[in-house]
């Protein structure tokens, strides 16, 4: 993500002049890094209270998903 101290630059090499494959790899890397999600969030200002509410809702969703997966795996 861009907020980390890491370099925000993503490198992709183009092999055999295959730009389509390089673009596909670039999109995949950017998706994995969370660049698209961060760009979407930074399009407009988000109040700190809205940010806290969004992050809390995301945490609740993650927790429920974890419980569902655990229930599937363990069966109780």
Domain ranges in the chain are 1-44, 46-76
**Single pTM value for the model:** 0.59
pLDDT tens figures, 16-38: 999 999 999 999 999 998 889 99
Q: How far apart are CA 16 and CA 33, in angstroms?
A: 26
Structure tokens at 3: 């907020």
Tell me what the pLDDT averaged over the chain comes to: 89
- Give the burial class of 3: count Cβ atoms within 10 A of its Cβ; 0-12 exposed, 13-18 middle, 19 or more buried: exposed
Can you give the pLDDT at residue 15?
92
Greater model confidence, 2 or 67 = 67
């Amino acid at each position: 993500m861009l907020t980390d101290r890491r370099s925000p630059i993503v490198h992709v090499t183009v092999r055999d002049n295959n730009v389509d494959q390089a673009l596909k790899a670039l999109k995949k890397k950017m998706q994995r890094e969370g660049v698209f999600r961060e760009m979407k969030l930074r399009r407009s200002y988000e109040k700190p209270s809205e940010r806290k509410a969004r992050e809390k809702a995301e945490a609740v969703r993650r927790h429920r998903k974890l419980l569902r997966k655990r229930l599937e795996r363990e069966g109780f």
